[in-house]
Amino acid sequence: MSGFLTCFAREWHLALRRSGDLLTVVMFFAITLSLFPFGLGADKALLQQTAPAIVWVVAMLAVLLNLDSLFGRDERSGMLDQILLAPLMSLEYAMAKWLVSWLLTALPLVVMTPVMTLLYFLPGPQTLLLVLSLLLGTPSLTSLGLLAASLALGARKGSLLVPLIALPLMIPVLIFGVGAVTLSQQQMNAASAWYALAGLACLLLPLSLGTASLALHHNRS
Amino acid sequence: MLDDRPRFPNLRHRFDSLACMRGELLLFRQVSFELAAGELVWLKGPNGVGKSSLLRQLAGLLPIEDGRITWDSPQTGGDKSLFHYLGHTNALDEDLSVEDSLSFWQRLYRAKPGDMARAIESLKLSAFLATPCRYLSSGQRRRTALARLLLCPRPVWLLDEPLVGLDTASIAWVSALIAEQVAQNGSVILISHQEAPSLGTQARVLTLHPSGVSADVSAQNRTQNSEAAA
């Protein structure tokens, strides 16, 4: 546990020192989301209808932006070797990475969503639903991103490989995330979608952390 | 300086007929040697023969194609708490200060504050403790990386070119630290293309070639003579 806290403190400090990277993600999210209303035109009904899917897809892409450096930077600096040799479980290291990545990359996107949905004329209750679905769904996105980053480690074109691994795996999360919002919008029974979203988060977190900590050991040649 | 530090137990590590493949290429095979307590092994050989790969194999960072690594490990912590590994890279976070980097390792190794102070003093880091690692010169980076070895005493040091980028004075300090580790009954495997005159005399030189290691006979005689004299 103390290993986790030590790693968490390091990741946290490093992430805040590299605040430019974090800002890039937030700016990408804001700018991309503001492009769609220009392209789609001021059709209020169309914007309201497409908003959940657009916000979800852009959030998925934004989460992928910094994944290359998640383990890549530690690998290039030699830090990863030393972490693997330290009296520390690689699971604790992966957990710290996950938590900092979710708190500082995914959570700001969730927080920004109510502002961005103003451009889509999305009413308050529906914005709340969208925020809730992102709150439940982004942990899964971070998990899958971490998984992909650990598997692509050591590959020569790692930065291209990460989205190729992560995006297809994110499709179920996208389906249930958008489904939960649109079904609730249409006053239909959305409980199963919400449960599926929560279930995916519970399933993917331990699965990705376990796989990532194994992959870190195996990609060392 | 020596007395307050623990003396390491008499360990004897064995490495039997190790082989290493890099891609399709067989770098070396049938590499066998022993590493005893209080011994400095200087691994030599031309570029590309696989010295660094051998050291990474010993550290467990590279799979061994064949053979057996037997670390003599008395404590329950396992192999990982037996040795320190210093690779080509310095394992420093560019955005953290020297002090923050060291205290990260201090907490992971659960090192005593005394060891931290000793590490800073031995490698003369106090002048740039608050400097972020990205602004350090390559010699200063190497010294900071070396300080990690002193944060927690371990019987074996695996050092890959520790003297790269160091000035003459620093080479002398680092050589003294390696000699001290050996004097504490610890063991060191050293790869270095740079000459460290003070270490040359006490080292057992092993030359790595594709079909094994061979001992430098004259150097071995020297150690045997000095053991006989002791």
Rounded to whole angstroms, what are the CA distances from B169 to A60, A204, B89, B196?
A: 53, 53, 22, 11
Q: Do A78 and B59 touch (CB under 8 A)?
A: no
Q: CA of B230, closest CA in chain A: separation in Å?
A: 36
Is residue B94 helix, strand or coil?
coil
Contact by Cβ (8 Å): A133, A52: yes
Q: Do A82 and B93 touch (CB under 8 A)?
A: no
Calculate what percentage of chain A has a pLDDT beyond 70.
Answer: 98
Chain A positions touching chain B (beta carbons under 8 Å): 2-3, 6, 9-10, 13-14, 17-18, 76-79, 81-82, 84-88, 220-221
Name the one residue in this structure whose structure tokens are 């210093």: B86
Q: CA of B215, closest CA in chain A: separation in Å?
A: 28
- pLDDT reading at A150 higher than 50: yes
- pLDDT reading at B218 higher than 60: no
Give the mean pLDDT of B52-81: 83
Residue among B84, B108, B109 with most chain A CBs within 10 A, to mutate: B108
Residue A132 or A2, more confident:
A132
What 8-state DSSP symbol labels residue B128?
G
Instruction: Supply φ then ψ for residue B18, to 5 degrees.
Output: -75, 145
Find, in chain B, the residue whose alpha carbon is nearest to that of A221. Answer: B62
Facing A82 at nearest CB: one of B62, B91, B107: B91
Q: For residue A219, what pLDDT band results from cuts at 50, 70 and 90?
A: low
Q: For residue A88, what pLDDT band results from cuts at 50, 70 and 90?
A: confident
Q: Do B107 and A77 touch (CB under 8 A)?
A: no
Find, in chain B, the residue whose alpha carbon is nearest to that of A13. Answer: B96
Q: Chain A partners of B81 at a C-beta cutoff of 8 Å?
A: 87
- pLDDT reading at B38 higher than 50: yes
Give the mean pLDDT of A133-140: 96
- pLDDT reading at B217 higher than 90: no
Confidence (pLDDT) at B188 = 94
Picking from A14-23, B190-199, B211-220, which range would have the lowest pLDDT averaged per residue? B211-220
Confidence (pLDDT) at B220 = 47
Instruction: Tell whether B230 is within 8 A of chain A (Cβ).
Output: no
Confidence (pLDDT) at A221 = 54
Confidence (pLDDT) at A142 = 97
Task: Name residues whose C-beta falls within 8 Å of residue B9's C-beta, 6 or more positions apart in sequence.
Answer: B37, B74, B155, B185
Confidence (pLDDT) at A220 = 62
Confidence (pLDDT) at B78 = 63
Give the mean pLDDT of B149-176: 91
Instruction: Supply φ then ψ for residue B9, to 5 degrees.
Output: -70, 165
Q: CA of B82, closest CA in chain A: separation in Å?
A: 10
Facing A79 at nearest CB: one of B85, B88, B93: B93
Confidence (pLDDT) at B1 = 46
Q: What is the pTM of this model?
A: 0.89
Q: Chain B partners of A17 at a C-beta cutoff of 8 Å?
A: 95-96
The alpha carbon torsion through B214, B219, B225, B229 (nearest 10 deg) reads -120
Instruction: Give the pair of three-digit tokens for residue B2.
Output: 């020596």
Instruction: Tell whether B135 is within 8 A of chain A (Cβ).
Output: no
pLDDT in tens, A38-56: 999 889 999 999 999 999 9
Confidence (pLDDT) at B146 = 94
pLDDT in tens, B69-125: 888 877 655 667 888 999 999 999 999 999 999 999 999 888 888 888 889 998 999
Q: Do A17 and B96 touch (CB under 8 A)?
A: yes
Give the mean pLDDT of B12-35: 90
Q: Do A18 and B95 touch (CB under 8 A)?
A: yes
Instruction: Supply φ then ψ for residue B29, to 5 degrees.
Output: -150, 170
Give the mean pLDDT of A107-123: 95
CA-based nearest residue to B190, from B169, B160, B146, B227:
B160
pLDDT in tens, B175-215: 999 999 999 999 999 999 888 777 878 888 999 989 888 88
Is residue A69 helix, strand or coil?
helix
- pLDDT reading at A211 higher than 80: yes
Q: Do A81 and B62 touch (CB under 8 A)?
A: no
Instruction: Identify the bridge partners of residue B208 per DSSP, sorted by sequence position.
Output: B213
Picking from A74-78, B84-88, B192-196, B216-220, which range would have the lowest pLDDT averaged per residue? B216-220
Q: Do A78 and B88 touch (CB under 8 A)?
A: yes
CB pairs under 8 A between A and B: 65
Q: Chain B partners of A86 at a C-beta cutoff of 8 Å?
A: 80, 105, 108-109
Query: How many CB atoms are closer than 10 A to CB B88?
Result: 12
Q: For residue B10, what pLDDT band results from cuts at 50, 70 and 90?
A: confident
Q: Chain B partners of A220 at a C-beta cutoff of 8 Å?
A: 61-62
What 8-state DSSP symbol labels residue B181?
H
The pLDDT mean for chain A works out to 92
Residue A38 or B221, more confident:
A38
Residues shown for chain B: 230
Q: Chain A partners of B94 at a C-beta cutoff of 8 Å?
A: 77
